[in-house]
């Protein structure tokens, strides 16, 4: 059974088409990666799934029911983990989770039980009486998740749940996502961290300019990229501008630099590694390491959209 | 839906009143308004009785002496007016009472049968009793002298001369001056109106604050609809304002003994209607504001000046006529006017127009808010 079924979904803001006739399905038990750069139409799509925006056209079905006619059922089946924290700073962790779970009709003993369960699930059981203002960024993110899962939704939408937190909290959250999935939840996951998506998502859709331009498993998507390669060169020291010197070399499609690491997106058919190294050494750059990477999601994304996910 | 609504109302009220400073802001300030009005208007002492005189008996001796005698009374201020001016100013409340001496008044007193004299008032005997008794005493004395003189002008002149020249020892007894307490209570209500508008503004700003901290979007993506959420905010607003009204009226009546001259239930009903206006206005402001700070600035821009012009802080009658006309477009002014009518012994039928205008204000503000909320496609990048 499809937990989410989107058909011909469109959203226009005046003349601007933010989401352009997209269709996709998310099956039960999937962790579905939804990737797109800023402004690609990803957030607008998610807002429409959450009934926060009215579509201009198309249909959204959750658990085979149209959210337009059965909005209450659809909302009851959904849990939202927004990118920006959506918690009350003046309420304790327990009160936050209990309040948001209460919105789904839970009351009394069941509400208490589910609240405690959700807090324990995200590792905040011992912080139930603490106020979020005393929490670290990672703890707040975990509380943000607890507020979305206490009512036991069938479909959870997680938007950048690991943004801006320490590696330990990030690992905890990723493990929680897997655990939720194992317990029967279907998850739609968006992230700017490509390695996270590769690690946990069973299927991925890439959105660009309001359209889905690719969809499939990680293997299916990377298999489509046979004509490009990624070369990563680590310099001993960087003066800046090294990547710019590589543009124009045969086969080089894009070269970007972060501190002393240069990433080169190049045609696979052109043997240009020696030329690249030579150009760098002519500029007195000392090379520490060179790696030619296997096709990955980042390469797929760059190839399909012409930009990095974080652009 | 009802359960969800009350769940939201309960949680919001708990959140508001868990913060002790909110007790002071929402429930303490109306009391402060009563205290302020008492301090500002309670120290004005006994007010002068404003009397308008229509002297239709010209320069006749007794008529002129009557006016002169009354002019010597304490706490009485005279103004010579025409009969039509008298009626108008009595109706406007500018005069407390009016004395009409028609042609033939002096002759009737000299004949021992006082006539052609009339006293008019819309404020009742409590306000005019002192003036009336002094006037009756004077007229009775003079006519008694005229009867004794029995038409002998020399005898009358002698008696009248002795009477006029005699010193009087006046023993005064204070009576409760309801006009002053009514004025104090009116100004207390004026301050209450301002605090109601302010607190309605800050409570409606919660909608924007919840948008800013994204919890609003979490709420409306749950089975709670945006309509139920806004309705819960309205109910919270009305509950808080009902509390404000009850506390302010309790302090006015029980603690400060300020009787507005209007039954409690009527006063509560009238203020509850104004609470609706305050909520609808605050929602309209919130629907236009992009942020809670912008809404706060808009509320400040609207509430204080409009209260000032409408006569919440001091009687509107002291303002220029142009400003008084402007106040016709302010709901506070219509409420205070309704209060004035009720204080002048008017019935509920007399405030029908005020009631309808206040309802219309509420309806228009609500419709503006609904229209603006309905057209919002702004999710503030919730996800």
Chain A nearest-CA residue for B211: A86
Beta strands A57-62; B49-55: pairing state = unpaired
**Regions in chain B scoring below 70 on pLDDT:** 42-47, 124-127, 165-180, 375-383
- Residue B380 belongs to a domain: no
Indicate the residue among B119, B143, B165 that finishes a domain: B165
ipTM: 0.81
Query: Which of left, alpha, beta for B168 (phi over 0: left; psi -120 to 50: alpha)?
Result: beta
| B275 CB-contact burial (10 Å; exposed 0-12 / middle 13-18 / buried 19+) | buried
Say if residue B115 is in the same domain as residue B205: no
Closest partner CB to A86 (pick from B18, B19, B214): B214
Say if residue B291 is in the same domain as residue B204: yes
pLDDT at B174: 55
DSSP bridge partners of A231? A264, A292
User: Contact at 8 Å (CB) between A25 and A1?
Assistant: no
Q: Do B214 and A103 touch (CB under 8 A)?
A: no
- Structural domains counted in chain B: 2
Q: Quick: pLDDT tens for A8-40.
A: 999 999 899 999 999 999 999 999 999 888 888
Say if residue B254 is in the same domain as residue B349: yes
Q: What values do phi and psi take at A234, rounded to 5?
A: -105, 125
- Residue B142 belongs to a domain: yes
Sheet harboring B76-80: ordered strands across?
A: B76-80, B49-55, B97-101, B117-121
Q: Quick: pLDDT tens for B367-378.
A: 998 888 776 655
- Residue B379 belongs to a domain: no
- Residue B382 belongs to a domain: no
Say if residue B139 is in the same domain as residue B231: no
Between helices B292-310 and B178-212, what is the axis angle to 10°?
A: 170
Say if residue B22 is in the same domain as residue B61: no
pLDDT at A310: 61
- At residue A140 the predicted structure's pLDDT band, cuts being 50, 70 and 90, is very high
Chain B nearest-CA residue for A79: B222
Measured between its terminal Cα atoms, the distance across chain B in Å is 26
Q: Collapse the DSSP code of A235 into the 3-class scheme (helix H, G, I; strand E, B; otherwise coil) and give the result.
A: strand
A194/chain B closest Cα distance in angstroms? 18
B17/chain A closest Cα distance in angstroms? 12
- Which DSSP category does B153 fall into? H
Alpha-carbon span B207 to B47, nearest angstrom:
47
User: Contact at 8 Å (CB) between B117 and B139?
Assistant: yes
Q: What values do phi and psi take at B30, rounded to 5?
A: -60, -35
Average pLDDT in the A124-143 region? 93
Contact residues, chain A to chain B, C-beta under 8 Å: 13, 43, 46-47, 50-54, 72, 75-76, 78, 80, 82-91, 99-100, 102-105, 147-148, 157, 159
Say if residue B217 is in the same domain as residue B198: yes
Say if residue B36 is in the same domain as residue B73: no
Choose, out of B1, B6, B20, B221, the residue to mutate when testing the contact with A (most A CBs < 10 Å). B221
Indicate the residue among B135, B165, B195 that finishes a domain: B165
**Class of A227-294 in CATH:** alpha beta
Say if residue B82 is in the same domain as residue B161: yes
Q: Shortest CA distance to B332 belongs to which of B286, B273, B284?
A: B273
**Model-wide pTM > 0.80:** no
Q: What are the CB-based long-range contacts (under 8 Å, 24+) for B171-175?
A: B172/B74, B175/B126, B175/B129, B175/B130
Say if residue B305 is in the same domain as residue B250: yes
Q: Which residues of A touch B8 (CB under 8 A)?
A: 103
Say if residue B364 is in the same domain as residue B243: yes
Choose, out of B16, B218, B376, the residue to mutate when testing the contact with A (most A CBs < 10 Å). B218
- CB-based burial, A65-100: b 16+ in 10 Å, e otherwise: bebeebeeebbbbbbbbbbbbbbbeebebbbbbbbb
- Residue B383 belongs to a domain: no
Average pLDDT in the A237-262 region? 87
User: Contact at 8 Å (CB) between A187 and A79?
Assistant: no
pLDDT at B282: 94
Say if residue B235 is in the same domain as residue B366: yes
B15/chain A closest Cα distance in angstroms? 8
Q: Do A52 and B221 touch (CB under 8 A)?
A: yes
pLDDT at B364: 95
Say if residue B271 is in the same domain as residue B362: yes
Q: Shortest CA distance to A259 belongs to which of A247, A248, A243?
A: A243
Choose, out of B10, B21, B228, B382, the residue to mutate when testing the contact with A (most A CBs < 10 Å). B382
Average pLDDT in the A198-212 region? 92
Average pLDDT in the A86-109 region? 94
- At residue A62 the predicted structure's pLDDT band, cuts being 50, 70 and 90, is very high
Q: Quick: pLDDT tens for A154-176.
A: 999 999 888 888 888 888 889 99
Superfamily per CATH, domain A2-222: P-loop containing nucleotide triphosphate hydrolases (3.40.50.300)
- Residue B351 belongs to a domain: yes
- Residue B171 belongs to a domain: no
User: Contact at 8 Å (CB) between A206 and A301?
Assistant: yes
Q: What are the CB-based long-range contacts (under 8 Å, 24+) for A259-265?
A: A260/A234, A260/A235, A260/A236, A260/A288, A261/A232, A261/A233, A261/A234, A261/A235, A262/A232, A262/A233, A262/A234, A262/A235, A263/A230, A263/A231, A263/A232, A264/A230, A264/A231, A264/A232, A264/A233, A265/A228, A265/A230, A265/A299, A265/A302, A265/A303
- CB-based burial, B277-296: b 16+ in 10 Å, e otherwise: bbbbbbbbbbbebeebeebb
- Check which CATH number belongs to the domain holding B93 and give it: 3.40.1710.10
Alpha-carbon span A26 to A187, nearest angstrom:
9
Q: Which residues of B touch A52 (CB under 8 A)?
A: 217, 220-221, 379, 382-383
Domain-wise residue ranges, chain A? 2-222, 227-294
B8/chain A closest Cα distance in angstroms? 8
Which residues lie closer than 8 Å to B305 by C-beta, 6 or more apart? Answer: none
**How many CB atoms sit inside 10 A of residue A241's CB?**
9
Domain range spanning residue B302?
2-42+179-374
């Amino acid at each position: 059974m499809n937990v989410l079924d989107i058909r011909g979904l469109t959203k226009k803001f005046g003349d601007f088409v933010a989401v352009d006739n997209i269709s996709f399905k998310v099956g039960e038990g999937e962790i579905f990666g939804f990737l797109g750069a800023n402004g690609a139409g990803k957030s607008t799509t998610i807002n429409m799934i959450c009934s926060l925006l009215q579509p201009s056209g198309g249909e959204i079905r959750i658990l085979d029911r149209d959210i337009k006619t059965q909005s209450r059922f659809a909302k009851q089946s959904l849990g939202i983990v927004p990118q920006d924290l959506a918690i009350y700073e003046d309420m304790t962790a327990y009160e936050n989770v209990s309040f948001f779970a209460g919105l789904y009709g839970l009351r009394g003993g069941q509400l208490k039980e589910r609240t405690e369960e959700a807090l324990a699930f995200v590792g905040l059981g011992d912080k139930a009486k603490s106020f979020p203002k005393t929490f670290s960024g990672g703890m707040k993110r975990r509380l943000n998740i607890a507020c979305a899962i206490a009512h036991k939704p069938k479909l959870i939408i997680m938007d950048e749940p690991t943004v801006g937190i320490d590696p330990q909290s990030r690992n905890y959250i990723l493990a929680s996502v897997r655990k939720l999935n194992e317990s029967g939840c279907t998850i739609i996951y968006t992230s700017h961290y490509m390695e996270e998506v590769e690690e946990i998502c069973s299927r991925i859709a890439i959105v660009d300019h309001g359209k889905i331009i690719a969809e499939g498993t990680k293997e299916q998507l990377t298999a489509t990229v046979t004509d490009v390669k990624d070369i990563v060169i680590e310099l001993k020291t960087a003066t800046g501008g090294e990547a710019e010197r590589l543009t124009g070399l045969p086969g080089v499609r894009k070269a970007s630099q972060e501190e002393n690491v240069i990433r080169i997106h190049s045609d696979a058919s052109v043997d240009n590694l020696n030329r690249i190294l030579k150009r760098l050494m002519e500029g007195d750059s000392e090379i520490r390491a060179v790696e030619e990477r296997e096709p990955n999601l980042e390469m797929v994304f760059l190839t399909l959209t012409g930009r990095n996910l974080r652009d | 839906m009802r359960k969800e609504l009350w769940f939201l109302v309960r949680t919001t009220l708990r959140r508001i009143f868990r913060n002790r400073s909110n007790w002071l802001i929402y429930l303490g300030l109306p009391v402060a308004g009563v205290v302020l009005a008492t301090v500002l208007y309670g120290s004005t002492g006994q007010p002068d009785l404003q009397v308008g005189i229509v002297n239709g008996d010209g320069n006749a001796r007794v008529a002129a002496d009557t006016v002169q005698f009354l002019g010597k009374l304490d706490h009485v201020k005279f103004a010579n007016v025409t009969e039509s001016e008298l009626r108008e100013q009595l109706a406007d409340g500018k005069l407390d009472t009016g004395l009409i001496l028609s042609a033939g008044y002096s002759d009737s007193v000299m004949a021992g049968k006082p006539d052609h004299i009339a006293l008019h008032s819309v404020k009742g005997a409590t306000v005019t009793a002192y003036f009336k008794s002094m006037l009756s005493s004077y007229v009775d004395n003079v006519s008694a002298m005229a009867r004794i003189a029995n038409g002998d002008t020399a005898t009358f002149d002698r008696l009248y001369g002795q009477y006029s020249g005699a010193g009087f020892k006046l023993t005064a007894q204070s009576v409760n001056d309801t006009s002053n307490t009514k004025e104090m209570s009116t100004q207390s209500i004026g301050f209450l109106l301002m605090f109601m508008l302010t607190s309605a503004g800050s409570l409606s700003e919660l909608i924007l604050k919840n948008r800013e901290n994204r919890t609003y979007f979490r709420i409306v993506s749950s089975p709670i609809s945006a309509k139920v959420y806004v309705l819960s905010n309205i109910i919270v607003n009305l509950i808080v304002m009902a509390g404000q009204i009850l506390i302010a009226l309790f302090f006015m009546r029980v603690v400060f003994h300020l009787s507005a001259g209007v039954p409690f239930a009527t006063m509560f009903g009238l203020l509850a209607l104004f609470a609706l206006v305050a909520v609808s206005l605050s929602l309209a402001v919130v629907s236009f504001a992009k942020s809670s700070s912008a809404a706060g600035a808009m509320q400040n821009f609207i509430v204080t000046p409009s209260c000032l012009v409408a006569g919440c802080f001091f009687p509107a009658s002291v303002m220029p006529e142009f400003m008084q006309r402007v106040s016709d477009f302010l709901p506070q002014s219509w409420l205070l006017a309704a209060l004035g009518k009720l204080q002048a012994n008017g019935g509920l039928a007399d405030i029908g127009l005020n009631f309808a205008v206040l309802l219309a204000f509420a309806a228009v503000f609500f419709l503006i808010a609904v229209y603006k909320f309905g057209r919002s496609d702004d999710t503030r990048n919730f996800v």
